[in-house]
Amino acid sequence: MEFRTQTLEAISPVVMVVASPEAEAICQSQNGLTVTDLLRPYGFFHHLSVPVRTVGEHSYRIKELRLRFYEASAIYQPAPKVAEDHLCAVLSNAATDVSHAPDLLAALKKGEVPDALPWFKHYREEYMRMLRFSEHETFDHPVACLLVLSASEPNVVQAAEEMFQTMTLPPALRDSSSQATLLRHHVLLADDRPQPATSPDEKLPEGKLAEMKEGLGDAACSLVRINSGDKDKRSGLAGLWHSQIRSPVEGGGAGEPASKPAMPEQGYGAALSVSDVDGLKRSLEDFAVRALIPHLEMRVRNLSQQVALTRKGFKNQIKTLLWRNRSATSAAILSSATSNGADVPATPLRTPRATTTGVFSGLSGSQAQLRQLADTAFLVQDFQTAASTLRTLAVDYRSEGLWHSYASVQELLGLASFMIGASMQEVMTHFKEAFHRFSPQERDPSRDGIRYATRSMLLLAQYASLHGQWSEAHQGLMRAHLQEEDGRAAVLLEQAALCLLHKQPPNLRRFSFHFVLAGLRYNSCNLRNLGRHAYRQVVWLYEGRHWAFIEEHLHDVLGKQSKAAGDLHGAVRHFLAMLPCPRSSPSWQSFYLRQFLDAATQLAANSPEELGPLDLPLPAVNIRNPQVFYDNQTCHANGAARAVPAAYWRRLESLLLPGGDAGQNWLDSGSKTNLASLHNEVCVAGEAVTVAVQLSNPLGIPLVISRLSILAQLQQPEEQEGADGSILAEEVEVTLAAGEAREVRLQLRPLVPGTLTLRGITWTLSDIARGERLFKLKAASGRRATRDQSRQAKLVFKVIPSAPLLQVELLGLPRTVAEGALVEGQLRLSSRGGSVSGIRMLSAEPDLLLDPSAQPDGVHEASAAAARDQTAQAESTASIGLPQANVPCKGQAFMSSWGPDFCVDGQSGPCSWPMRFHPRQPGRCLLHLLWYFEPRAGEDLRFRMLRMVHEVEVLPSLCCQAQLIPAPDDLQSYLLRLQVDSRQEAESTQLEELVCRSPGWKLEPLASAASPSLSDPAASAHSPPSSANSSTEVHGAHSSLLQQSPDCSIAQLQQPLPAKLQALLYFRLHPPLHPTPDQSKPDLGQQADAAARFHLQGQQMRHAKAQAVFEKQQAGQPKSKHKPQQDPVGAEQKQHASGSTPPAAAAAAIAPDPSQRWAGGAPDLSLHWHLSSQHLHGCHHLYKCWPKGEAGVQMLLKGPAQVQHDFAAQPLCRVRLQLSLRNFLSGDVTAEATFGAAASDAARASWSTPGPASSDLPACHSHVWSGRKRAHIDTLPSGAINHKTTEVLLSSEGMHNLQDYQVKVKDGLLLISGTRGLNDAFPDFTGKRQQLRQERQEFNFHREIRLPADASTASGHVHAKVVEGVLEVTVDKVWGPQASDRVDVQF
């Protein structure tokens, strides 16, 4: 509706209706309408063309006119409190049913935002109605009086006069002057119903009308006939009155009586016919055109003339000025009297007639005439006159400070300005000025004007919104709501919010805030339904935007209101949304959880079917990335096996499968399809499918989660549909602590073949609320999309019929074991679901030793016999069918095979084999075992793979270091120094025996000196070995050579080694005299002990590794790019096999020795030990013990250490000496020995050594070499020994120090020179231990020196250089009490 129409409807002439009781009875009994209601729909006249001339020279035409009919008794404004109660009731009625309210989200999406909410329109109309009939506005005052009489009245003229005299006048007309201006009109209401019996004296209505016209005037009377229709038939006119009938205010007023007849069953106006309505319409139109409009026209003229008389001319202006002053004074007096509580005169001053506030102007005097003139001109649609009059009046009121009257004038002036086509800005300025002046000021805190101020803003909002000025409308409503009470403020806020939706672009965020404010206001005045409606409209706007407090507030309010309203489902939904509140304190989180659970409990008690699975946000579930583990052709024995990268397993599988040797890249992977077929989404019926899901608790309180299981669906083939219990899902209980995140593994077993779909997970929170989340794998775009689609597909499995599965148990395998221990355990094989055969096992580590060829324990007799028979047959035919144990194969793996025909039956129980475990490296030992077996039943799987990983923590036990040095007294044998460090924390280790496993080698303890010495490694770390050992010696033990065999040589020790101590063991090693068979492939019988087999295994691995390194070096290829961390096999390859040799040294040590020192290679040793508390035996292996450093040409001058001679009988003593030289170099050398004075003095001095301290003989130098003074050895082949015999003549007794001999060795570039005294000869190892240490000192001193000929090097203690082919050694730093006592030369 246009604003113009609304204005004309709101400000139109008011006709006061006074009906006789008979007339009311005629109307109400048949139609359910009062006379006033009957007339109301026909108060609108269009298609008029009535010429009117008011104050101007020119006339205009009224084309449409509206009349407002009110009962005379209801034409007054109700008291403010009554009006407020009525408006609250309007809102309460609206709140009873908000279902018809539009969904703003849907409307917004459609682009059809409503202009107003349904209750706003009604509320606005009622609000405007409550403010009608104010005293300071005359456009609501009646301009005509319609006296309605019944045609059955016997004397209508007299009755009309009586009625007019006795009628109750509205308050505005109680002034006699106002009453005189009232237009009087009479309506004779005739009941057209068939009358039962009429007396002949009674006149017809037409007769009475004539009588009335004769008595009251022709134009002032009319006849209206009603009730000519059939009451039983619906006339179709009932809709006319629905919009016209207002609900009465309590006590009456505002244009409606206190009570109204109820609507009859047939509807309003049931007895009215079309002719009745037409007659009524014609009568009212005649009244309006012939009587009312001329009356108003005349009244405007009269008022205009009166105003002109009182306002124009100098005299009148003076009067007006004086009157204004007096008026202002009076208003001030009244205002002060009111505020002081003084009695206000019952009859106030006539001019002006002030209201109690003293701000409104009365309706008398010149200003009242102006106001009446303006209002009447507005009613007669002379808007120019109205506007000009109002402007004049506004100036008057403004100058007098009558602000409410001024505001009222501004309000009407705004409407008049609009009607005369003023600018929008001007119109809105008038309304804003009216609002401003109506609003309570600081000096006038009364709130009387607020209602009118709000009305001004409502008019402004309506005007602005109808003209597209939504911002102005919004601002006006927002200004109005600030000073209003809650209910009205909420309505204004909602309307203001809707204005924001009409803006372009829509201000959604401010709209939602206004709605929330409106909801709060509604809740404050107990209009819960409306408040809930307001909140609901905006929840969607905040959801998912992470404004935590806002969402929490909305859901909190909505949840509580829903619960109070009995909507438990809604309460659960809103309380549920509040649960994830990590920013709240734990106490609030606990409260929210309890609140939700209470609501859920109530809902479950009332209607369990409504409490279905909820989308619970607690706990937080990572639905984007569930990990699914399942077995098909590839099975996993434990979780650790799944943790190993699949590529590693595939590499092992390629060694077991025929044609599965995948290449390094896709180009040379010939049998890719075979391997790929192993990893399809296929699972086996009866076997578990495990889903690992990440759960996390975002709250600060613990969460109890029960019945956590997988949500899955198994679609069976058509012929098997209908079977129940096809899925067995495991239910888990979990308690998540505050802030805890955990991966939970859930299992389910499809029991029958079909298609299995994993949908999500379901759980119960605190044993009350059932929740579920469906998996939604992460979506991606672009190139990754295909990959993610395949991930989504991984939640769908094809379930194939069940197949037998091999079950492997490693019994006796400890979780923690000492390094080098020999653990005996048991391998137990069993089968589930059928028989399996063709069992093979591939191990990537050499630490586990199986023996499939042994007789299994507990094997079924029949199958054992069959296995024996088949084994015998296989022996006769081919060796491939034989059981094999730990056969090395490619990729540093070891394979054990049970033979093709060995069968493990699922019904006969498990079979056991002995198993040995021997970890050789401390740290975390992972045993990767891959089992291959062939099910004997089932067609879908020809073979299956079982992956198994066992983790054992290996603790360090002993650290062995061997040092091999050539024996100084014997050019054939070596001395072995074995240093054993105990790394046990508290336990003493019993060293049992040392075994040399190299064939031909002889191990011999150094007689009684072989007893070990113990020392604290920490204390001896920075001290010389000899002195430290001597000071920390604990005890010795007897050691003897117990066994010598061709294959190995054993030295028994039986020596306890306390924890954290060190033992030093000395042995003499005799190398084999003749070449021994190749050790790379020794033949160990089945009865060989486990230690020997592990030793051999390690030997083979070292050999293979050395071979690989050598081949790589030969080929000039770079090193492998595999990182050890990524490849366990590679890591194992990198680890050195010996417990004491670092990897680099081991690689160098096992390299082919160019010197070919020993025909069979360096010796291998095993040190056996025993831990008594754990009943644990173990051994450490030492491979390829090379002498430290390179040996050159070694010499030895042998002779008797003590000679008895009778110088009296024979003046000269002849002593026979033998000089031996052995060439340890790879090539031939030339040597020359010089005795006597020819030897270099410098050389002699540098090699001088003091004699034994215990000698009591005097030193003597009188000796003479006899025979040849120079012996030349042309060729000393590599490894050969040359002996030269010489004699020395002694002429006196004493200690002869034979130092004047020299041996020069020349081998091309190298020239090695050395001298040695006679008493330097290495004594027998039969002395005391003190002597042993001395010999060791000397031994260290006399090590061979080999230097490049073209270099000069210096070490820390000794400067050595080659001068003219002779080695010169200068000792510049010595250690010990005397400079010549000891020199420790290290190269």
Report the interface residues with other proteins, using CB under 8 A.
Answer: 500, 505, 507-510, 512-514, 516, 542, 545-550, 552-553, 583-585, 588
- CA-closest candidate to residue 151, choices 279, 48, 274: 279
In sequence order, what E strands does 668-786 have?
A: 682-684, 689-696, 703-715, 727-729, 732-736, 741-750, 754-765, 769-774
Length of the chain: 1387
- CA-closest candidate to residue 304, choices 361, 352, 353, 374: 374
Nearer to other proteins, 546 or 787 (CB): 546
Counting Cα atoms < 13 Å in the Cβ hemisphere of 1229 gives: 26
Q: How far is the CB of 559 from other proteins (least distance, A)?
A: 15
- CA-closest candidate to residue 537, choices 560, 516, 563: 516
Q: How far is the CB of 464 from other proteins (least distance, A)?
A: 18
Residues 756, 694 contacting (CB under 8 angstroms): no
Q: How far is the CB of 514 from other proteins (least distance, A)?
A: 8
- CA-closest candidate to residue 144, choices 408, 379, 382, 385: 379
Q: How far is the CB of 408 from other proteins (least distance, A)?
A: 29
Q: How far is the CB of 532 from other proteins (least distance, A)?
A: 17
- Helices 424-438 and 470-481: crossing angle in degrees, nearest 10, is 0
Q: How far is the CB of 110 from other proteins (least distance, A)?
A: 21
Residues 895, 841 contacting (CB under 8 angstroms): yes
Nearer to other proteins, 177 or 504 (CB): 504
Cα separation, 122 vs 89, whole angstroms:
12
Q: How far is the CB of 780 from other proteins (least distance, A)?
A: 16
Nearer to other proteins, 546 or 783 (CB): 546
Alpha carbon of 335 to those of 98, 343, 394, 1109, 1357: distances in Å?
46, 12, 21, 116, 121
Helix or strand run (H / E) with residue 457: helix 450-466
Nearer to other proteins, 341 or 782 (CB): 782
Q: How far is the CB of 517 from other proteins (least distance, A)?
A: 8
Q: How far is the CB of 621 from other proteins (least distance, A)?
A: 20
Q: How far is the CB of 109 from other proteins (least distance, A)?
A: 18
Nearer to other proteins, 542 or 894 (CB): 542
Nearer to other proteins, 738 or 1148 (CB): 738
DSSP H helices in 503-621: 508-524, 528-542, 548-564, 568-578, 586-606
- CA-closest candidate to residue 705, choices 661, 746, 659, 651: 746
Residues 1102, 1146 contacting (CB under 8 angstroms): yes
Q: How far is the CB of 534 from other proteins (least distance, A)?
A: 13
Nearer to other proteins, 443 or 546 (CB): 546
CA angle 735, 739, 745 (to 5 degrees): 45
Q: Is 956 helix (H, G, I), strand (E, B) or coil?
A: coil
Q: How far is the CB of 511 from other proteins (least distance, A)?
A: 8
Cα separation, 916 vs 910, whole angstroms:
19
Cα separation, 535 vs 538, whole angstroms:
6
Cα separation, 376 vs 298, whole angstroms:
10
Q: Is 14 helix (H, G, I), strand (E, B) or coil?
A: strand
Tokens for 1379, please give them. Answer: 């400079």
**What are the two backbone dihedrals, phi and then psi, of residue 929, each rounded to the nearest 5 degrees?**
-120, 135
1316 dihedral zone (left: phi>0; alpha: psi -120 to 50; beta): beta
Buried b (16+ CB within 10 A) or exposed e, 735-744: ebeeeeeeeb
Q: How far is the CB of 485 from other proteins (least distance, A)?
A: 17
Q: How far is the CB of 503 from other proteins (least distance, A)?
A: 9
Q: How far is the CB of 575 from other proteins (least distance, A)?
A: 16
Cα separation, 1112 vs 1104, whole angstroms:
12
Tokens for 1202, please give them. Answer: 């003590």
Neighbours of 720 (CB within 10 A): 11
Cα separation, 671 vs 661, whole angstroms:
8
Q: For residue 477, give the amino acid letter.
A: L
- CA-closest candidate to residue 903, choices 873, 864, 930: 864
Burial of 588 by CB count in 10 Å (0-12 exposed, 13-18 middle, 19+ buried)?
Answer: middle
Nearer to other proteins, 268 or 513 (CB): 513
- CA-closest candidate to residue 693, choices 737, 757, 770, 759: 759
Q: How far is the CB of 116 from other proteins (least distance, A)?
A: 21
| Summary count for the chain: helices (H), strands (E) | 36, 55
- CA-closest candidate to residue 78, choices 261, 263, 246, 262: 246
Tokens for 857, please give them. Answer: 């324990």
Strand 1295-1296 and strand 1259-1260: pairing? parallel
Q: How far is the CB of 549 from other proteins (least distance, A)?
A: 4
Counting Cα atoms < 13 Å in the Cβ hemisphere of 968 gives: 20
Q: How far is the CB of 695 from other proteins (least distance, A)?
A: 22
